[in-house]
């Protein structure tokens, strides 16, 4: 009975939404905030860096001496800040900094860094500020301009207050379209004296604020961080991982319409649906491992999240190819039917073949080529926690769950096609169904390609 209550408690903990993440903007994000503060006759810049689990994991791999890393990061951030007054470059000197590694998803750590930089005395004029740090990395980018201690801002392209509480409380309505502000301009007049530099939040407060986000971590990613890895829990966690994988298949993407359209258009069988599921399993698992290798070994040359637009494009082109293949197959069948109707049996001795292996692989790869970021987090957490074997079987179970959903969709499409084929709609509707399905797959592929191209250009 005690074990039953424990099992029910574990299931309740895992019943959190599958999309729950320690970082609200996603595991890949590098989020930046800069406050340009005019105080007295000085310009101070308070900079906040908030790295999610995956970039923080990469960053921590290079840390051998914490103090040296903190000093180097302070210099590196300062070099990426561009400040000009009336076109003249203004040097910024570091005054203070704080670094923390708050807990994140799946037992991984995030990274939060704050620093304050100061200019020398400045005169009134036009201020231009630009943050060039971490160019090309996705995430929240915010700048504010404010004044105190006698300084005055007459006009500014940036607001005076932060909408994210300096990357501590991201507004939910902006999570899908975060601000992308890296430059600000303002007209200002300085005050007297050196003013007062912005205050940094204490190390403990940085960790506490960000740790609040980690309390919502649940679902698939939470499995890898459990302390008790008894045989019973491992077996249960595999079932839970399969459940999350199956649920993930019903999120946007993963080619649900494409799988159904392909099997209907090519007159697939249950065997073809199962083969599609196996292809999705293998492709998704390999994709997670490949992206993990990039994250671990090639992060200096390739940013992991920059691979996703290319993977999207590859998946889209595969779908276009599959759609064209189905359409070509349907045209050949139509010609065969016409030749048969006119008695030209010698021109076409047999009907077109069943769905080709190439087509099935194309659909399966397109459905599984985009690895789930949460699965990548689990892989990195497994490496960090020295639970590589456990992490691998969790990812495999997740991929199997994903494939089971895709296979079920395929079987449903096959069953529905067979059911309709037994019903007489004067014959014509049923005969047009494969061609219509081919056009659906082709249209979806072209739409995916159109969406993917801007991400790689």
Give the pLDDT mean for 122-144. Answer: 93
Question: What phi and psi values does residue 323 have, to the nearest 5 degrees?
Answer: -60, -45
Confidence of residue 4 (pLDDT cuts 50, 70, 90): very low
Residues 10, 287: Cα–Cα separation, whole Å: 29
Cβ-Cβ contacts under 8 Å for 328 (sequence gap 6 or more): none
Half-sphere exposure of 311 (CA within 13 A, CB side): 21
Residues 168, 55: Cα–Cα separation, whole Å: 18
Reported as a single tens digit per residue, the pLDDT across 316-365 is: 777 777 677 667 766 676 676 666 666 655 445 444 445 566 666 777 77
1 has pLDDT over 70? no
Rounded to whole angstroms, what are the CA distances from 215 to 96, 107, 221, 266, 297?
A: 30, 11, 13, 48, 30
Q: What is the pLDDT of residue 245?
A: 82
Residues 139, 9: Cα–Cα separation, whole Å: 35
Q: What is the pLDDT of residue 349?
A: 45
Q: What is the pLDDT of residue 261?
A: 62
Please answer whether residues 195 and 149 qualify as being in contact, where contact means their C-beta atoms are separated by less than 8 angstroms: yes
Reported as a single tens digit per residue, the pLDDT across 398-421 is: 888 888 887 887 777 777 766 655
Reported as a single tens digit per residue, the pLDDT across 194-221 is: 889 998 876 555 555 554 444 444 567 6
Q: What is the pLDDT of residue 431?
A: 53
Residues 457, 445: Cα–Cα separation, whole Å: 19
Reported as a single tens digit per residue, the pLDDT across 78-129 is: 999 999 999 999 999 999 999 988 887 777 888 999 999 999 999 999 999 9
Q: Give all strands of the β-sheet with 81-85 in edge-to-edge order.
A: 88-89, 81-85, 125-131, 183-189, 152-156
Q: What is the pLDDT of residue 118?
A: 96
Q: Give all strands of the β-sheet with 42-51 in edge-to-edge order.
A: 93-100, 111-118, 42-51, 30-39, 141-148
181 has pLDDT over 80? yes
Cβ-Cβ contacts under 8 Å for 435 (sequence gap 6 or more): 265, 327, 330, 334
Estimate to the nearest angstrom the gap between the alpha carbon of 69 and the chain centroid: 27
Average pLDDT over the chain, rounded to whole? 76
């Amino acid at each position: 009975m005690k074990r039953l209550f424990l099992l029910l408690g574990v299931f309740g903990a895992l019943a959190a939404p599958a999309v729950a993440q320690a970082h609200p903007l996603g595991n890949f994000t590098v989020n930046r905030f800069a406050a340009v503060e005019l105080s007295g006759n000085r310009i101070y810049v308070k900079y906040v860096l908030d790295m999610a689990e995956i970039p923080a994991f990469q960053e921590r791999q290079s840390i051998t001496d914490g103090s040296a890393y903190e000093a180097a990061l302070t210099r590196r951030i300062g070099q990426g800040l561009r400040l000009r007054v009336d076109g003249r470059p203004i040097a910024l000197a570091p005054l203070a900094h704080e670094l923390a590694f708050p807990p994140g998803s799946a037992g991984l750590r995030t990274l939060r860094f704050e620093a304050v930089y100061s200019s020398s005395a400045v005169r009134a004029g036009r201020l231009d500020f630009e943050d060039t740090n971490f160019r090309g990395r996705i995430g929240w980018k915010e700048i504010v301009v404010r004044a105190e201690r006698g300084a005055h801002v007459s006009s500014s392209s940036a607001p005076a207050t932060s909408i994210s509480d300096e990357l501590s409380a991201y507004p939910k309505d902006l999570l899908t379209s975060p601000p992308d502000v890296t430059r600000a301009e303002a007209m200002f007049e300085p005050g007297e004296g050196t003013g007062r530099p912005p205050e940094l939040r204490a190390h403990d407060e940085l960790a506490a604020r960000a740790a609040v986000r980690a309390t919502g971590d649940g679902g698939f990613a939470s499995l890898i961080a459990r302390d008790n890895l008894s045989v019973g829990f491992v077996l249960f966690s595999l079932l839970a991982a399969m459940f999350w994988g199956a649920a993930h298949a019903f999120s946007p993407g993963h080619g649900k319409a494409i799988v159904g359209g392909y099997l209907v258009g090519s007159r697939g069988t249950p065997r073809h649906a199962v083969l599609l599921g196996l292809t999705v399993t293998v492709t998704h698992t390999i994709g997670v491992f490949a992206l993990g290798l990039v994250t671990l070994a090639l992060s200096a040359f390739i940013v992991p999240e920059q691979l996703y637009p290319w993977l999207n494009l590859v998946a889209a082109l595969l779908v276009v190819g599959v759609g064209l293949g189905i359409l070509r197959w349907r045209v050949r069948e139509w010609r065969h039917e016409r030749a048969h109707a006119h008695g030209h049996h010698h021109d076409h001795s047999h009907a077109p073949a069943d769905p080709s292996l190439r087509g099935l692989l194309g659909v399966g790869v397109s459905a599984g080529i985009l690895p789930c970021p949460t699965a990548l987090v689990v892989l990195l957490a497994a490496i960090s926690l020295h639970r590589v074997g456990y992490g691998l079987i969790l990812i495999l179970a997740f991929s199997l769950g994903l494939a089971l959903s895709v296979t079920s969709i395929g079987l449903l499409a096959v069953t529905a096609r067979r059911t309709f084929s037994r019903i007489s709609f004067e014959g014509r509707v049923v005969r047009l169904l494969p061609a219509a399905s081919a056009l659906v797959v082709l249209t979806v592929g072209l739409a995916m390609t159109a969406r993917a191209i801007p991400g790689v250009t």
